[in-house]
């Protein structure tokens, strides 16, 4: 069998422990194995069982998750760990239907856990499976349409081997990831070359079909990096809807376009941010905006260094979010902020 010869030796392949499988599957949602692997190792070391994960803090989980993206996964991970530990005596649901009720667990993840841990015949349909099935069977139904989602799940369910559903699921995903790749698949040495409809019809490059997607928004961020003479700065936690929920960042002034110092000081948000501080100097750190690219928006970002005067300390003006600069690294921050801190630290701090 192809899988047994070509499979990668990955840590979650040596266990049927639902905790480990669940953790790996959540981490690998929309994430490459190579990117998720080091996070998986660190999480397992920090939280060997669901008990440790459930009894830590959300901040600690987010800090360990930092850089992996899609942070709602980390928040749902924590919520689910607490639910299982406190409401279910630490015992995972043991079938597909109950697994589906867990936060952050959809059809794919429930199928993966049920098939791998409990030998339940539930076919996974991830990006790899969509690609392999659409090509081999020559299916042009858009994979991200309601009809496509149903059609591919049904087909996958027909094909799955009921004797080793977990192995079957991992095999077809591995095949998609390693052989039937998005670009330049090696059709010449493919085990399905005798029956692949896409190959026969020369449609490999056009399958799978995906419905067109979103346009990218531009946003303009101005971060106010407050530096007191005591070596403190200010971080705020993002609590609203949108990107980076629950992560920390410097006080943010978002504008409609790039602004200079004069314009920045006229923005109401800036005045709210700086209220209570005696800012001695405001210096633009990066003349050229840092362009941080997310999948759906580009963030044109400038950092402004706001140095506080000595008078500021004497007045005892204080805010609850003041943090020694050395402690900034304890907080979960977006990669955009982390990159700035690394760059800034080279000659400062």
Partner DNA sequence: AAGCCGGGGTT
Partner DNA sequence: AACCCAGGCTT
Number of CB atoms found within 10 A of residue 76's CB: 16
Give yes or no for residue 294 binding DNA (CB under 7 A).
Answer: yes
| Residue from 71, 248, 250, 270 binding DNA (CB under 7 A) | 71
| Residue from 42, 91, 95, 182 binding DNA (CB under 7 A) | 182
Could you tell me the smallest distance in angstroms from the CB atom of residue 337 to DNA? 8
Residue 50: asked if its preceding bond is cis (omega within 30°), the reply is no
Give yes or no for residue 33 binding DNA (CB under 7 A).
Answer: yes
Give yes or no for residue 296 binding DNA (CB under 7 A).
Answer: yes
Give yes or no for residue 4 binding DNA (CB under 7 A).
Answer: no
Could you tell me the smallest distance in angstroms from the CB atom of residue 103 to DNA? 5
Distance, in Å, from the CA atom of 130 to the CA atom of 134, rounded to the nearest integer, reads 6
Give yes or no for residue 176 binding DNA (CB under 7 A).
Answer: yes
Paired residues of 236 in beta bridges:
249
Give yes or no for residue 79 binding DNA (CB under 7 A).
Answer: no
Give yes or no for residue 95 binding DNA (CB under 7 A).
Answer: no
Give yes or no for residue 295 binding DNA (CB under 7 A).
Answer: yes
Give yes or no for residue 14 binding DNA (CB under 7 A).
Answer: no
Q: Between 22 and 277, whose beta carbon lies closer to DNA?
A: 22
Q: 167: which 2 tokens? A: 């192995």
Gyration radius from the chain CA atoms: 25
Contact region for DNA (CB under 7 A) — 108-116, 222-230, 254-262, 274-282? 108-116
Contact region for DNA (CB under 7 A) — 43-51, 266-274, 291-299, 311-319? 291-299
Q: Between 251 and 334, whose beta carbon lies closer to DNA?
A: 334
Q: Between 124 and 196, whose beta carbon lies closer to DNA?
A: 124
Contact region for DNA (CB under 7 A) — 56-64, 90-98, 103-111, 261-269? 103-111
Q: Between 47 and 175, whose beta carbon lies closer to DNA?
A: 175
Number of CB atoms found within 10 A of residue 37's CB: 18
Contact region for DNA (CB under 7 A) — 45-53, 55-63, 64-72, 88-96? 64-72
Q: Is 120 a catalytic residue?
A: no
How many residues are given for the chain?
349
Size of the site for DNA (CB under 7 A): 64
Could you tell me the smallest distance in angstroms from the CB atom of residue 314 to DNA? 38
- Looking up tokens 């690609």 gives 131
Give yes or no for residue 68 binding DNA (CB under 7 A).
Answer: yes
Could you tell me the smallest distance in angstroms from the CB atom of residue 242 to DNA? 3
Q: Three-state secondary structure along the chain?
A: CHHHHHCCCCHHHHCCCHHHHHHHHHHCCCCCHHHHHHHHHHHHHHCCCHHHHHCCCHHHHHHHHCCCCCCHHHHHHHHHHHHHHHHCCCCCCCCHHHHCCCCCCCHHHHHHHHHHHHCCCCCCCCHHHHHHHHHHCCCCCCCCCHHHHHHHHHHHHHHCCCCCHHHHHHHHHHHHHHCCCCCCCCHHHCCCCCCCHHHHCCCHHHCCCCCCCCCCEEEEEEEEEEECCCCEEECEECCCCCCCCCCEECCEEEECCCCCHHHHHHCHHHHHHHCCCCEEEEEECCCCCEEEECCCEEEEEEEEEEEECHHHHHHCCCCCCEEEHHHHHHCCCCHHHHHHHHHHHCCCC
| Residue from 15, 30, 140, 342 binding DNA (CB under 7 A) | 30
Could you tell me the smallest distance in angstroms from the CB atom of residue 167 to DNA? 10
Binding site for DNA (CB under 7 A): 10, 12-13, 24-25, 28-35, 67-72, 76, 103-110, 126-128, 130-131, 145-147, 169-170, 173-174, 176-177, 182-184, 208, 210-211, 213-214, 241-245, 292-297, 334-336
Provide the annotated active-site residues. Answer: 25
């Amino acid at each position: 069998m192809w899988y047994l010869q070509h499979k990668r030796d990955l840590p979650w392949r040596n266990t049927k422990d639902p905790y480990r499988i669940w953790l790996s599957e959540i981490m690998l949602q929309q994430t490459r194995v190579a990117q998720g692997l080091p996070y998986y190792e660190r999480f397992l070391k920090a939280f060997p069982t669901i008990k440790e994960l459930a009894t830590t803090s959300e901040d600690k989980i987010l800090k360990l998750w930092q850089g992996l993206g899609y942070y709602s996964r980390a928040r749902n991970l924590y919520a689910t760990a607490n639910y299982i530990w406190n409401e279910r005596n630490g015992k995972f649901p043991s079938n597909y239907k109950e697994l589906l009720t867990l936060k952050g667990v959809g059809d794919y993840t429930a199928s993966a856990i049920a098939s791998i841990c409990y030998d339940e015949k539930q076919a996974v349909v991830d990006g790899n499976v969509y690609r392999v099935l659409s090509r081999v069977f020559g299916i042009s139904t858009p994979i991200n349409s309601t009809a496509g989602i149903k059609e591919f799940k049904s087909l996958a369910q027909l094909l799955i081997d009921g004797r080793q559903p977990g192995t079957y699921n991992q095999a077809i995903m591995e095949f998609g990831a390693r052989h039937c790749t998005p670009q330049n698949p090696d059709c010449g040495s493919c085990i399905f070359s005798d029956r692949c409809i896409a190959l026969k019809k020369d449609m490999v490059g056009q399958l799978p079909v995906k419905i067109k997607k979103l346009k990218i928004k531009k946003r303009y961020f101005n971060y106010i990096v407050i530096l007191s003479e005591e070596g403190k700065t200010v971080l705020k936690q993002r609590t609203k809807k949108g990107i980076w929920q629950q992560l920390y960042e410097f006080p943010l002034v978002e504008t409609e376009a790039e602004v200079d110092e004069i314009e920045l000081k006229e923005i109401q948000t800036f005045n709210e941010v700086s209220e209570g501080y005696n800012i001695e100097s405001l210096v633009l750190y990066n003349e050229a905006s840092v362009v941080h690219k997310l999948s759906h928006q580009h963030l044109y970002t400038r950092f402004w260094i706001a140095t506080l005067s000595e008078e500021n300390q004497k007045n005892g003006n204080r805010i609850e979010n003041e943090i020694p600069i050395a402690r900034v690294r304890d907080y979960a921050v977006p990669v955009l902020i982390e990159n700035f801190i690394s760059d800034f630290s080279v000659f400062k701090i």
